[in-house]
Amino acid sequence: MQRLPYPDPGVPDLRTPLRFLRWVARGQWRTLSWGVLFGVIWMVSQALFPAAVGQAIDVGIIAKDRQALMVWGGVLVGLGAVGALAGAMRHRFAVENWLRASFRCMQLIGYKAADTGEALPRRMPTGEVVATVASDSMRLGGLYDVSARFAGAIVSYVVVAVILLSKSRPLGLVVLIGVPVLVSALSFILRPLQRRQAEQREQSGKLITLGADTVAGLRVLRGIGGEQQFLRRYQEQSQRVRVVGVRVAGIQASLDAAQVLLPGVFVVLVTWLGARFALDGTITPGDLVQFYGYAAFLVMPLRTATEFADRATRAHIAARKIIRVLSTEPDTKDATRKATVEPPHGVPLTDPASNVTIAPGQLTAIVSARPEESRALADRLGRFGKTRTDVHLDGVAIADLPLATVRRRIVVSEIDPRLFTGSLREELDPHGIHDDEAILSALMVASGEDVMEALPSGLDSDVEERGRSFSGGQRQRLALTRALLTNAEMLVLVEPTSAVDTHTEARIAVRLASARAGRTTVVMTSSPLMLDQADAVILLTNGMAAARGTHKELMATSPAYKDTVVRGGAT
């Protein structure tokens, strides 16, 4: 069995839900084929059981041939053994196909969420994305779970039809035509069920979104006394979900009842006709037993067919939701026109929009009275955002470089970096390329020794979701450690010490300058402690470079710079 997740989930076909379902099936055609094979063997072995019983009655019991009875008894035992083995294998592949399809969709959604960044939550609420992973992916996988049984149902139906037609053409035609008619009758229930399931899925997604938003802003809600307002909204949405759920339950109950009633009526009809033919001598007693057995057996293929239709309906709705997530385009796309030559290392990084040039191998600090200006510069330097950036490396526009190249050479650590669940080691070194000594060294540069001292298992300690167990300053230092461990050629840090005290900030400033000596580092900050360690400082005014020099030079020559730094240091 292949381990999950996949090394590469592939490139999905997002044109229509049906095409997406076909693409998922092609990705696991081998296990689907094995499942179909064992599903056919499993159900056909059961389909042959009534025929073997009928033969045992006619040539064994009625003819009083003990040897023939023993032979057909052995055939029944063999069919039972084959059915049991094939059933076990069919179930094994059914579960595997379900998990493969579900996890492939989950992985695609996870990759898309990481790739699109802020674009995905702008297009659809976070709760809707969570519902797509937790619910829709599993429902889509359910279609491939039932596929093996559905294939077996089709083949067994054909086998039974051939057997019955050879025994009695009228009864055979009743069975051959009756089963499709019953399945078609159930389609009148499936159509409204599909509409109501889609409505239920929509309302459930809104409820999950509302719950996620409420939890995320719980502290703010308590602070402004808005808990009761959000509780009322959650109660109202819960009632909407309950109402549509009851509507779905009504249709689902009708479908379940029809699955019992219609096959039951069909069995009665076939049994009655078979009894009349047996009394007329048209068929033998063994044939009558066969017809009764097949009328009862065909309930299973019929219910499997209706189950398949129900699963296909759910999978179609789920595929539509998944496609909506996977169709989201990231703010930053890969270059359509590629640069012919990648610029060498150790070249300046220039932003014409602000007239800022970052000298290679230096620690450069960017100061602005409006922090949004320096943050916008950081986004341009790292090629983030929807609009094309004009930043270039030695004359080569980074917008024309492959995005993977830009991400490898230029790493931007934002002001509010995310921490994820897992061990601290995985959090700081997600690719597992550094040993403990390197990780601890980077942690020391970020003045994170106290974080390690508070953890019982050191680097193997678990990090709670979003790093809730850490203070704001600790989370900031862990994020700085993670950025340092990238060993990026150019590292852009946005307010890396805004949440720490003065003494910690002073240690980080000195250690950062030493650790990144000879490599390009850009720090967006107005902290005098950090500015004093910079090789060069650039002042932004109205988004443009207004002054450049060392911290001491600018403090002596630029009143605007001095005012910005003093005011920023005071806050």
Task: Express each pLDDT in 62-76 by its tens digit.
Answer: 877 888 888 888 888
How is the chain split into domains, by residue range? 17-113+123-326, 349-570
One-character DSSP codes across 114-131: HHHTTHHHHHS-HHHHHH
Is 17-113+123-326 assigned to CATH 1.20.1560.10? yes
The better pLDDT of the pair 484, 570 is held by 484
The better pLDDT of the pair 173, 24 is held by 24
The DSSP bridge pattern shows strands 349-351 and 392-393 to be antiparallel
Q: Output the CA–CA distances (angstroms, integers) from residue 410 to 406, 414, 432, in the order listed.
A: 6, 13, 20
Q: What does the pLDDT read at residue 230?
A: 64
Of 271, 260, 261, 265, residue with least CA distance to 171: 271
How many whole angstroms separate alpha carbon 374 and alpha carbon 524? 6
Q: What is the mean pLDDT of residues 91-110?
A: 90
DSSP summary character for residue 434: S
How many whole angstroms separate alpha carbon 234 and alpha carbon 340? 55
Alpha carbon distance, N-terminus to C-terminus of the chain: 59
How many whole angstroms separate alpha carbon 508 and alpha carbon 369? 23
Contacts (Cβ under 8 Å, ≥6 apart) of 208: 127, 128, 130, 131
The DSSP bridge pattern shows strands 363-368 and 520-524 to be parallel
In angstroms, how far is CA 408 from the centroid of its own chain? 25
Q: What is the dihedral of CA 554, 555, 557, 561, to 10 degrees?
A: 70
Please report which confidence band the pLDDT of residue 354 belongs to, taking 50, 70 and 90 as the band edges.
very high
Enter the tokens of residue 444: 């020391």
Q: What is the mean pLDDT of residues 280-297?
A: 77
Please report which confidence band the pLDDT of residue 89 belongs to, taking 50, 70 and 90 as the band edges.
very high
Q: What does the pLDDT read at residue 363?
A: 95
Please report which confidence band the pLDDT of residue 353 belongs to, taking 50, 70 and 90 as the band edges.
very high
Q: What is the mean pLDDT of residues 223-235?
A: 62
CATH of domain 349-570: 3.40.50.300
17-113+123-326 with 349-570: one CATH topology?
Answer: no
Q: What is the mean pLDDT of residues 494-515?
A: 91
One-character DSSP codes across 468-503: TTS-HHHHHHHHHHHHHTT--SEEEEESTTTTS-HH
Enter the tokens of residue 470: 């850490």
367-409 pLDDT, tens digit per residue, is 998 889 999 999 899 888 777 888 999 888 888 888 888 888 9
Please report which confidence band the pLDDT of residue 205 belongs to, taking 50, 70 and 90 as the band edges.
low
Judged on CB neighbours under 10 Å (0-12, 13-18, 19+), 88 is exposed
pTM, entire model: 0.65
Q: Output the CA–CA distances (angstroms, integers) from residue 515 to 59, 65, 191, 310, 483, in the order listed.
A: 92, 95, 65, 61, 12
Q: What is the mean pLDDT of residues 172-186?
A: 72
Maximum mean pLDDT: which of 243-252, 352-361, 454-463 = 352-361
Q: What does the pLDDT read at residue 211?
A: 62
Lowest-confidence region among 158-167, 319-328, 518-527:
158-167
How many whole angstroms separate alpha carbon 493 and alpha carbon 477? 12
The better pLDDT of the pair 420, 566 is held by 566
Enter the tokens of residue 415: 């002001």
How many whole angstroms separate alpha carbon 84 and alpha carbon 62? 29
Enter the tokens of residue 425: 């080691």
Grouping H, G, I as helix, E, B as strand and the rest as coil, residue 336 is coil
Q: What does the pLDDT read at residue 571?
A: 37
Grouping H, G, I as helix, E, B as strand and the rest as coil, residue 283 is coil
